[in-house]
Structures are given as structure tokens and as C-alpha cells.
Amino acid sequence: MENCNNSCFNQQIEEKSKKHPCFSESGHLKYARMHLPIAPKCNIQCNYCNRKYDCLNESRPGVTSEILTPTEAFQKFLVVKEKVENLSVIGIAGPGDALANFDKVKETVELIKQNDPDITFCLSTNGLRLPEFAQEIIDIGISHITVTINSVNPEIGKHIYSGVDSEILLKNQLAGLEYLSSRGIICKVNIVAIKGINDFHIEEVVKTVKKLGAFKTNIMQLIPAKDTKFQDMPLVSNKDLNEIRKKCSVHLTQMYHCQQCRADAIGLLKQDRSIEFRNIGISSKTEKSIKDKEYRIAVASESGNIIDQHFGQAKDFTIYKVFGNERKIIDKRSINQYCTSKEECEEKSDKIDTIIDVLKDCNAILSLRIGSSPKEKLENNKIKTFEIYDTVENGISLALKQLAKY
């Protein structure tokens, strides 16, 4: 009887997961997912994570072009549902931790379920608050969970996390995983392979989470993010990564098709279409605020239609006047380039003061990147700065949405 029950349960898992692109070996070729970036806060600091940057060239967790309210997320879902074929999963993957923002997660899920009760919901978490919210996760209808567990030894965990007791974190991760999996929630465990820190320990992690009911594990290569403790960490090679996966596949099914997606990813795993759907969920209050005020926005663009220049490398800025639905170029202003080399790009008060004088009538500057020093001085002079890699049109829309909040 026990074998029959296990067999039936495994069939149920397979049926529920075949349309989830992250949980299915073949589903990712056909079914699309939509990540809703409604969870900006995080409750721990992983030494490999930096959520400050947004760039289309960075396809990694923790980056997004916008933070949505639950209402805005629902509005965006309605648009994407109409245009993305085989949308099967709504995922909440940050850019912080879903359970550090559970009020927003709950509201968003409830709004979407009223419109589409058949959509699959999943969320990703570091697991610190998993026991606290486990039953609520079940009650609101989330069927798939991904928990990132990078070690099952607190001494190893101390080298991976900051600002959290690694022993408490591990205890909560394992307790939450066991509770959810024993109640039919399909649980995947992500493991970031970090050379010299936990790569020798990953098989032990896999063995442990298998005993607690994990459906599969996803062993991923570290992505060194700038301005993190692990930014210069050497990588586990692809060959060694696959050897680890092969060794662990004896114990538990492994995921090989992970794309380490952004927090706002939309579409098939290998065809992220999120750029098509930016700035959709603007509330009526924000729209009214935008329409009632004139803005001037300076754009750093070499190509003319893409925001593709670092602030420090720009020799001129295109100035857009925006009022209501009208957007037009009114000027192109030359400046004394802030950076001429790495050495000539730090604490140049005379240069930034001159640039501020040239752009003093602008509400915002859009550039691919900007250093902390010029950013601070510009914003102290009431010129907001935005780091964006997108079309100029989309970038202005994003800036307007944020400017309307101030």
C-alpha cells in the first residue's frame, strides 16, 4: 500500500509540474512564466547578492527594472496574459525575498486568482521565515516553492551569509522544507556552487534535502556581482559543476536548464520578453500626477534610441520635455566629460558642478550607470538619477513613474 501511495503521489507531482518551466525537463520549451517584482525587501544578506543594479545584460536574480504594487502587478498580468502564449506560472522571485514581503505576495496572489483560478503560483525564498508562513503558503494556493539552501553545516553557512545567524537560518530552511513537502507542496532546492566554500559539501546538501521531501535540486554556478564580498571569487568550472550534478543525480533529480532569471522575467526560460512589458502597471493616481506636471529629462545615449552610455562617458545629453502624453526633444547639451580615465573619474567637484549648472533645469538624468559621488551631488541638487538599459521611450516612462512619487 505504501508503494502505491508513493507512486500515486509522484504522479500527482509530475502532473502539477509538467507545465512549470523550472520544474519540468521538457516544459521549459513550451510553457512561459511571469516573475512579478513585488518583493523588494530582504531579511538576510548573501555574500554573492547585489540587488542595486539593473541591466539587460545581467540575467541574474536580484535585478529588475521596476518594483510593482500588487495592483500594478495584477494590471501587468492581464496584459501579459493576453500576449504571451502558454503563460502557465506566476512566480515571485524578489528582487528581495518573497517572505520578507508576504503581505504583498498574498494580495497579489488573491487578485490574480480571482481572474484566473487555474494559474500555477510559485515563490522563491531563502527560507528564514518559511516555518512562520508555511501554512499560509498552502492556504492561499501556492503549489511550488524554491528554497535556496547552500549548506547544511552552519560553519560553512557563516562564510556565505551576513546579517543572520546561520544556525537559525538552516534550522528554519529544513523545518519549512519538511513541513511543506509533507503536505503536497512541490519543493525545489537551489544551491549556489561557490568554489572553496561549499562545492565539496553540495552532495551532503542534496542528500539532506532529499530526506526532507525535496522534488529536485538546482545546482547553479556563482555569478560574481559587483560590490559584493564574492565579486572576485573564482568560479567552479562548467566541467566541475556538471560533475557535481552527475554525482548528486544518484540521490535526486537535477535541473540542468536553469537560466538564473531576473526578478521581472517574462516568457520562455530562454526567451525573456520582459523588455516588451515594462512600465505597464502604472496606477491611475500616478498617471494623473504625470499628466499634471511638466518634466525635463536628460538622456545619455550614443545611439539615440537606447540609453546606452555611462554618465561619466557622456559628452552630451539629449533633453526631453514631457507633458502629459507629449514627449519631444528640445535641446542637446554638451558637457565636459566627467570621466576621461579611471583616475580622472573620482571626486571631480569642478566637473560635476559644471554639469549640474548645464542640467539644472532637468528633473532627472537617465544613464546606463552612474558613480555614487556624482549621483549624490546631482540628487542633492534635486536632479534624480536613474540607471537604465532600455529604449529611451521606456526609460522615460519608468522615470516618470518614479518621479510622480516624489
The answer to whether the predicted template modeling score (pTM) of the entire model surpasses 0.75 is no
Domains of the chain: 2-277 (3.20.20.70), 284-403 (3.30.420.130)
Q: Measured between alpha carbons, how far is 290 from 259 in angstroms, rounded to an integer? A: 36
Q: How confident is the model at residue 2 (pLDDT cuts 50, 70, 90)?
A: very low
Stronger pLDDT, 374 or 57, i.e. the higher one: 374
Stronger pLDDT, 7 or 327, i.e. the higher one: 327
In this prediction, residue 56 carries a pLDDT of: 39
List C-alpha distances in Å: 280 to 65, 91, 116, 286, 395. Answer: 12, 18, 19, 12, 12
**What DSSP designation does 64 have?**
-
Q: Of 361, 353, 355, which is closest to residue 314 (Cα–Cα)?
A: 355
Stronger pLDDT, 221 or 59, i.e. the higher one: 221
Q: Measured between alpha carbons, how far is 187 from 255 in angstroms, rounded to an integer? A: 13
pLDDT exceeds 70 at position 73: yes
Hey, CA dihedral for 187, 190, 196, 199, is it positive or negative?
A: positive
Average pLDDT over residues 51-68: 57
C-alpha cell at 6: 508513493
Going across the sheet that includes 87-92, the strands are: 216-221, 186-193, 144-148, 120-125, 87-92, 32-35, 266-268, 271-272
The mean pLDDT of the chain is 82
**What DSSP designation does 383 have?**
-
pLDDT exceeds 50 at position 53: no
Q: How confident is the model at residue 58 (pLDDT cuts 50, 70, 90)?
A: very low
255 contacts 28 by C-beta, under 8 angstroms = no
Q: Of 145, 115, 110, which is closest to residue 130 (Cα–Cα)?
A: 145
401 contacts 297 by C-beta, under 8 angstroms = no
In this prediction, residue 303 carries a pLDDT of: 83
* Residue 161 backbone dihedrals phi, psi, to 5 degrees: -120, 155
The pLDDT tens digits of the residues spanning 236-270 come to 888 888 899 999 999 988 877 665 667 788 877 66
Q: 380: helix, coil or strand?
A: helix
Q: How confident is the model at residue 5 (pLDDT cuts 50, 70, 90)?
A: low
Q: How confident is the model at residue 339 (pLDDT cuts 50, 70, 90)?
A: confident
